[in-house]
Structure 1
Amino acid sequence: MTNIRVLIADDQVMVRQGFTVLLDAEPGIEVVGQAVDGADAVAQVAEVRPDVVLMDIRMPGLGGIEATRRLTEPPDARVRVLILTTFDLDEYVYEALRAGAAGFLLKDASAAELAHAVRVVATGDALLAPAVTRRLITEFARLTRTPRAPLRDRVGGLTERETEVLSLIAQGLSNAEIAERLVVAEQTVKTHVGRILTKLALRDRTQAAVFAYESGLVRPTAP
């Protein structure tokens, strides 16, 4: 089985080296590069072709948000970006998710949490399950303006069941949890998710969750 190739982008050498040691000790994961900032990350992705980039947000020069946008914006982009942050309510994380990040992870995560996050996003899924991620998306959605009409109109193109699945994705539920909630097969949920992403022209579940909040389909709840 081919190893998951990981690039670590952080301006702190201790963070890069520490994560490299942790990930290289995990079976099926290989760190193929370390970048000192966003521009370096973009350049190295083109060279070493990683599956996942662990991207710090706050770096000198080209920051993590713009680097994430450049890496994920091309239609044929295959790399997945996992945002690294020190604070679970970092003001920039929500923008990073909108820019195309597949999820985010706190820098004090354990080795097991780090490896799990890499494996989750490498499979094409989004890291939305942790309660802290739900809290972040909810909190920043609260700060957005009134639902944008064009986005709301796009929701109208979904079936009733697809709309229901989208709202559950935004709440942070996994496919298995959605299947249990709706009493359907997990494969059925995967089919619905695929159709939702296609109809709304979204990249992954993370963007689907953000879309659900910004369109007004899902309303933020009190913490």
Structure 2
Amino acid sequence: MSKAYHVLVADDHAVVRSGIAYLVNQQPLFEVIAEAANGSDTYMRVEQGGIDILIMDLSMPPGESGLVTTQRIHEKFPDVKIIILSMHEEQEYINQALHNGATAYILKSSADGEIIQALKHVINGTEYLDSNIQLSKDDLKEINRDGVEVNGLTGYASLSKREKEVFPFVALGYSNKEIASKLFISTKTVEAHKASITRKLKLSSRAELVRYAVHHHLIDL
């Protein structure tokens, strides 16, 4: 008999994924059914369906920033509960992750019990913050502001769903053929998306695109 809630674990370290999966599978209502090592693979696995809860690191280099992946998943699959498990304790990361759609934020430095508490909260429809995190009133205002795009980027926000999937691979130097293979599309389609991306972002070269991506924290190198 299948367990009630299907979990996807995303982290760039296999040993971390294994540890989280072991912990989650010990809980009676949860079962890890998939793993991913980067943001792009995480999004595509969620897109395949059958995922109720995503436990994800924010930094999974080289690839798309976890903050971007969080927002993309939340916008397209709002029913998937996102638990961020990160080493980043900085308030700006916590604020942005919650604003982008994360339901819970846990620190990697905390005890295992925090993940368990997060799981219990998200299935009950409530948010959960690691007990070691304290948010001020200003932080809460920042999180709850309306109309904020990813990192305040209107140009990036204008990209289509597929263009946002192609974007990190282009910035990381993947060839058209490699991108086509990863996203199951033709090289001609990749070329068209690349042209559209550079036009919308008003960039004239890959070097400019890389600088744009790094400067705005859209990828982790």
| Category of TM-score, reference length = shorter chain | 0.5 to 0.7
Q: For 2:96 and 2:136, how far apart are their aligned partners in 1? A: 13
CA RMSD, Structure 1 to Structure 2 (Å)? 3.0
Q: For 1:111 and 1:131, how far apart are their aligned partners in 2? A: 12
Q: For 1:149 and 1:43, how far apart are their aligned partners in 2? A: 27
| CA offset digits 1:31-71 (Å, max 9, x no partner) | 01111111111111122421111111112211211111111
Matches within 5 A, 1:1-223: 2-60=3-61, 61-74=63-76, 77-89=78-90, 91-128=92-129, 130-133=130-133, 135=134, 137-138=135-136, 141=139
Secondary structure of 2:128's match? coil
Opposite residue 71 of structure 1, the aligned amino acid is I
**Superposition deviation, residue 148 in structure 1:** 7.3
Q: For 2:120 and 2:51, how far apart are their aligned partners in 1? A: 13
Q: For 1:52 and 1:96, how far apart are their aligned partners in 2? A: 16
Q: For 2:106 and 2:74, how far apart are their aligned partners in 1? A: 18
**Superposition deviation, residue 10 in structure 1:** 0.8
**Superposition deviation, residue 80 in structure 1:** 0.8
Secondary structure of 1:97's match? helix
Indicate the residue corresponding to 1:217 in structure 2.
Answer: none
Opposite residue 136 of structure 2, the aligned amino acid is T
Opposite residue 6 of structure 2, the aligned amino acid is R
Bigger CA drift: 16-25 or 46-55?
A: 46-55
Task: State how many pairs are aligned.
Answer: 145
**Superposition deviation, residue 116 in structure 1:** 2.0
Q: For 2:46 and 2:145, how far apart are their aligned partners in 1? A: 34
The normalised TM-score by structure 2 is 0.57
The normalised TM-score by structure 1 is 0.57
**Superposition deviation, residue 24 in structure 1:** 1.0
Opposite residue 141 of structure 1, the aligned amino acid is D
**Aligned CA distance change for structure 1 residues 142 and 12 (closer, same or farther; 3 Å):** same
Q: For 2:10 and 2:50, how far apart are their aligned partners in 1? A: 14
Secondary structure of 1:49's match? coil
**Superposition deviation, residue 6 in structure 1:** 0.9
Unaligned runs of 5+ in 1: 152-223
Indicate the residue corresponding to 1:186 in structure 2.
Answer: none
Q: For 1:113 and 1:84, how far apart are their aligned partners in 2? A: 10
Q: For 1:149 and 1:21, how far apart are their aligned partners in 2? A: 38
**Aligned CA distance change for structure 1 residues 90 and 150 (closer, same or farther; 3 Å):** closer
Asked if the contact 2:67/2:100 (under 8 Å) is kept, the reply is: yes
**Aligned CA distance change for structure 1 residues 124 and 12 (closer, same or farther; 3 Å):** same
Indicate the residue corresponding to 1:202 in structure 2.
Answer: none
**Aligned CA distance change for structure 1 residues 78 and 14 (closer, same or farther; 3 Å):** same
**Aligned CA distance change for structure 1 residues 142 and 124 (closer, same or farther; 3 Å):** closer
**Aligned CA distance change for structure 1 residues 90 and 59 (closer, same or farther; 3 Å):** farther
Q: For 2:41 and 2:146, how far apart are their aligned partners in 1? A: 38
Opposite residue 139 of structure 2, the aligned amino acid is A
Q: For 1:57 and 1:107, how far apart are their aligned partners in 2? A: 11
Q: For 1:80 and 1:89, how far apart are their aligned partners in 2? A: 22
Opposite residue 63 of structure 1, the aligned amino acid is S
Q: For 1:108 and 1:114, how far apart are their aligned partners in 2? A: 11
